[in-house]
Amino acid sequence: MRRKFYMHRRGGVFYACLVNQETGLAMSARSTGERDRDAALIVVSGWLRDGLPGKGGERRKVEAAFDPDGILRGIRKAELDSGAALEIVNALKERGLIDIGAVEPL
C-alpha cells in the first residue's frame, strides 16, 4: 500500500504532498498553515476525508487534482521555465500522445 501523503517543513510551516494511489504521482506541496506537526496531520486528514479547499470555500476531491483538468490547472499556476516545459512535452511524446518537436528558445 502506498503512502497517501508526504509532509515536510518549509520556513517552519508544514507542507503536504498528496499521492495519487493509482499512479503513485505526487501533487505539488500544499501548505497546511500549521507549525505543529500534529495539527498539520489533522489538516491533511481533513483534506483526505472532505477534499481539498478551493476558492469560495468549496471542496474538491483529492483525485480531481490528478485528472486532466487538475493537471492543466497545475501547469497554468506553476512557475515554469523553458526546461520544465520541455520535460512536459517530452513526457507527452514518450507516451505517444503528441508527435511534435520542441526545442528550448535561444
pLDDT of 7 reads 94
pLDDT of 53 reads 79
**Gap between the Cα atoms of 82 and 99, Å rounded:** 19
Confidence of residue 2 (pLDDT cuts 50, 70, 90): confident
DSSP at 21:
T
Least confident of 12-16, 42-46, 75-79, 92-96: 75-79
- Percentage above 70 pLDDT, the chain: 81
Question: For 14-58, how does the pLDDT look when each residue is reduced to its tens digit (9 = 90+)?
Answer: 999 888 776 677 777 889 999 999 999 999 999 888 888 777 767
Q: Is 65 exposed, middle or buried (0-12, 13-18, 19+ CB in 10 A)?
A: buried
